[in-house]
Structure 1
Amino acid sequence: MKTSVFVYPWDIIGDPDAADRIAGLGVQQVTLASAYHSTRALTPRHPDHRIVTAAHASVLYPAAEEVWAGRALRPYAAGDWAPTADPYGEAAAALAGAGLEVHTWVVLAHNSRLGTENPDIAVVNAYGDRYSWAPCIAQPATRDYLVTLAAEAAVRPGARGTELESLGWYGLSHLHAHDKIAGVELGDAGQYLMSLCFCPACADGYRGLGVDAEELRTAVRRALEPVWATGSSAAGRSAIEKLLGADLAAATLDWRTRTARTLQERTVAAVRAAAAPGFQVLLHADPVAHHCGANVGVDPEHILGIADGVVVPCTAGPTLLAPFAVHRTERTVLAANLTVVSGMGGNPAALAEDAARAAGLGANELRLYHAGLASETDLTRVRAALS
C-alpha cells in the first residue's frame, strides 16, 4: 500500500538529515505544504529550532506577480518562519533527492488574515458574527481567489500530484488561538446551524430557492435557543431537520452543496489545466455533505467523478471510507489518513492494525500525519509498522 507522510518545509530546510530520515521510514511519498494556514508547530529533531510559529496563512513559494497583480484578494508571503525565499522548492528538492515522490499540500478556504483584512468575504452566521478564518465560498471574489491559488500552489516544479484541503465550506469549528467556545456542546446539528452563512451572496442564493434570508436567520436562532440552554449532541441530517424543519434544512443543504460542487469542479479543472498529464488531484474529504472544515463534506459519487480520489480522516476509525468505496473505480485513490503523533491523539503502535482495517473498507493508500511533528518514539513505531 503506497504511503505518504505530511511534512512542512521548515521540517526539512536546515536539517541535513531530515529527507533521508523520512525516506528511512519506509514511505514512498511526502505531502509537502505549499500553501498553509497559521500554525504553531513543534520541530523536535531540527538542529536549529524547536518551535516554528507561522503567524498567518501564506504561500511557501514565491507567488507569481503576473498572476496576482491588480487583484484585491491575493496570497500572503510567508514571514520570518520561512527559512528561505522558496522554502517549498528547496524542501521538495531535498526530498526528491532522497528518492521520495513529492506531492503538494494546499490549504484553501481557511485563512484568518484574509478574512480579517477583507471582512466582507467572511462567513456571517445567523447572529451577525463574522468568521474571519472562513472565507465564504459563495462569493465570486473568494471563488476566483481559491481557483487561482489552487492552480498555482498545487502545480509546483517537480510535484507529481496535489492534495487540496478545505476546498469547500469552513464553519464554526476552528482551532483558534486560546479557543473558548466549548462551554456549550453544539453537536453535529448545532455546528451546522452555526456554520450557515448569511452574507449577501448566500442571501441571494437562499432567495433563488424561494427562502427569505431574514426568515431563515430567525428560524436558525429560534432553533438554537434551547441548545444554548442545555447543549446538544444531536447529529445527522434528521437532527438538523428536527431543529430547523425539513424544508429549510433541505434548502440550505441544496444551496451549500451546489455551491461547493461548482467550486470543486472549477478548481480541479484549473489544476489539471496548469499541470502535465498524469498529475494526481486528491481532495481531503468527508462523505457527510453538511460537514465543514479541513475535510470538506462532499457527495462521494460526485467528487470521485471529478478528482482522482480522496484523503479521508480515519484516526477515529475507518468507517468514513465505506461511502467512497462504493463509487471507486480501479484508478481511484482512496487514502486513509491516520494520525501517528501520539501527543495529538494518534496511536502509531497500532498503525499496522489500523492500516489493515482501512484496507478492508477499500483504502488503497495511507497518509500519515505528521512526520515533522512526531517524536522519535512515534517514528520508530511507524518505521516498524511499515517494514
Structure 2
Amino acid sequence: MKASTFVYPWDVTGDPGAPARIAALGVEQVTLAAAYHSTRALTPRHPRRRIVTAEHAAVLYPPDGRWAGRALRPYPAGDWAPGDAYGEAAEALAATGLEVHTWVVLAHNSRLGAEHPDTSVVNAYGDRYPWAPCVAQPATRAYLVDLAAEAAVRPGAAGVELESLGWYGLQHLHAHDKTGGVGLGDAGLYLMALCFCPACRDGYGAQGLDADVLAAVVREALEPLWRGAPDDRGWSGVVELLGEETAAATRAWRDERARTLQEAAVAAVRAAAPTGFQVLLHADPVTHHVGANPGVDPAHVLSVADGVVVPCSGGPGLLTPFAEQGREGAVLAANFGVVSGMGGSPGTLTADMARARALGATEVRLYHAGLASDADLEAVREALAGR
C-alpha cells in the first residue's frame, strides 16, 4: 500500500535535515498543510524550536487577488508560517523524491467565527460555535469553495486532501476545553450540532418544520442527557428523541447542504488543477456524523471525488461501507495515528495495515511525522519496511 504522512510546513522550514528524515520513513508521499486551523504543536527535532503556536486558522502561502474586497477571506499566517511557508517546504520535500499533496482544512475556523459571528453554527439554545462555519450559508459556501480551489492547487502539488468539508458540531478541542463533563452520546452530539442560524431556520421551514418548535423539541430531548442519562443509541436515538419524520427532515436539509458543497468544492478544485490531480475527502460513512471527518454517503462521495481518507483510530471498520461500493480505481486511505502521546499506536501499525488492506484499503495515512517522537518514527520505519 502506498503510504503518506501528514506534515506541517514548520516541521520542514528551518530544518535542513527534515526532508531526508521524512523520506527515510519509507513513505512515498507527504500530505502537507496548505490551509490549517489554529493549533499548538511540538517540533521535537527542529534545530531552533520545540513549540509552534499557530494563533488562528490561516493559509500557509500568499493568497491571490481573488479575495480583494470580500468580507470573508482567508487569513495569512503569522510568524509561525511566514511568506510562502508551504511552497518552501514543498520544494524541499519534493527534492527528496517525495510526492507532495496539499492538506486543506475548510469548515473549521475560530477567527472567522470571532470576526464574523453571523457565519457560525448556532445550536438550539442560541449558543454560537465560532469554530464551526455554517455550511448552509451562501456567503460561507462561496468562501469555502474558493478556498478549496486556491489552497489545493499549489505549485507542484499532485493532489489534495480536503478536511472538514461538511458540518462541524460541538466536538472541538479548544483551549482549556471543559466540555467533557456530560456524556452526550452519538444522538446528543447530533442534536447539539443542529444549526439554527437564519439560513438553517429557513431550510427547516422548506422541509415542513417550524424552527422554533424544532429548537424547543431539541432542548427537551437533551434535558435527560444533561441530568446524566446515558444514550449511545446512535441514529435510532435521534429518531426516538425527535420522532421519525422530524429527524428525517433535519437530515434532508443538512445532507443536501453538505453534499452540494462537496460537489461544488471538488468541481472548483478540478477546474483549477492540471489533468490527473487527485482529490480526496476526509470522510466518515456514518452520514449524520460531524467534524473533521464529516459524514458522507459512500456511494455519492466516491462518485464525486477520487477517494476518501477514513479515520481508523478505533480500528479499520469504517472502511467497509466505502469498499462495498466496488468503485474501481477509488482511493481508500486508512488514516492511523502514530503519535503515542496522542493516543496513536505505531507499534501495531503492521497489524493495523494488514487489517485495513483486508477491508479494502488501497493506501495508508500516518498522523503525524512532525509530532511523533523518535521512538514512534522508528516503529513506523520498521512497519513500512515490512509492507
TM-score (norm 2): 0.99
**Kept in 2: contact 1:170–1:293 (CA 8 A):** yes
- The aligned counterpart of 1:271 is 269
Residue in structure 2 matching 1:228, options 223, 226, 229: 226
What is the CA–CA distance in structure 2 between the aligned matches of 1:271 and 1:260, rounded to whole Å? 17
Aligned residue pair count: 385
The alignment partner of 1:230 has SS state of coil
Counterpart-to-counterpart distance in 1, 2:174 and 2:263: 29
CA shift at 1:174, angstroms?
A: 0.3
Alignment of 1:17-36 (within 5 A): 17-36=17-36
Q: How do 1:148-163 and structure 2 match up within 5 A? A: 148-163=146-161
1:10-89 alignment, distance < 5 Å: 10-64=10-64, 66-82=65-81, 84-89=82-87
Alpha-carbon separation, structure 1, partners of 2:136 and 2:32: 28
Paired residues for 1:280-291 under 5 Å: 280-291=278-289
What SS does the aligned partner of 2:179 have?
coil
Alignment of 1:275-354 (within 5 A): 275-354=273-352
The answer to whether the Cα contact below 8 Å between 1:184 and 1:231 also exists between their aligned partners in 2 is no
Give the equivalent residue in structure 2 for 1:182. 180
Distance 2:94 2:376 in 1: 23
Shift of 1:315: 1.6
Alignment of 1:368-379 (within 5 A): 368-379=366-377
Matched to 1:326, the amino acid is E
- In the alignment, the residues of structure 2 paired with residue 87 and residue 328 of structure 1 have an alpha-carbon distance, to the nearest angstrom, of 39
Structure 1 residues 147-176: Cα deviation after superposition (integer angstroms, max 9, x where no partner): 000000000000000000000000011001
Q: Provide the rounded CA distance (Å) in 2 between the counterparts of 1:148 and 1:215.
A: 35
Please list the CA deviations of residues 152-201 of structure 1 after superposition, one character each: whole Å capped at 9, or x if unmatched.
00000000000000000000110011001111110000000000000000
Q: Distance in 2 between matches of 1:315 and 1:202?
A: 32
Percent of pairs with identical residues: 71
Take 2:294 and 2:11, find their aligned partners in 1: how far apart are those partners? 27
Match of 1:256 in 2: 254
SS for the counterpart of 2:178 is coil
Q: Deviations over 1:39-59 (max 9, x none)?
A: 000000000000000000000
Return the alpha-carbon distance in structure 2 between the equivalents of residues 290 and 328 of structure 1: 23
SS in 2 for 1:76: coil
- The amino acid of 2:284's aligned partner reads D
For 1:319-361, what per-residue CA distance to the aligned partner results, in whole angstroms no more than 9, with x for missing partners?
Answer: 0000000114221000000000011111101111000000010
Distance in 2, Cα, partners of 1:199 & 1:228: 23
| Structure 1 CA distance for aligned equivalents of residues 76 and 295 of structure 2 | 29
Any gaps of 5 or more consecutive residues in structure 2?
none
Displacement after TM superposition at 1:362 (Å): 0.3
Q: Which runs of 4+ in 1 moved over 3 A?
A: none
**Structure 1 gap ranges (5+):** none
Residue 204 of structure 1, CA deviation: 0.6
SS at match of 2:227: helix
Q: Which moved more, 1:321-330 or 1:340-349?
A: 321-330
TM-score by structure 1 length?
0.99
Match of 1:100 in 2: 98
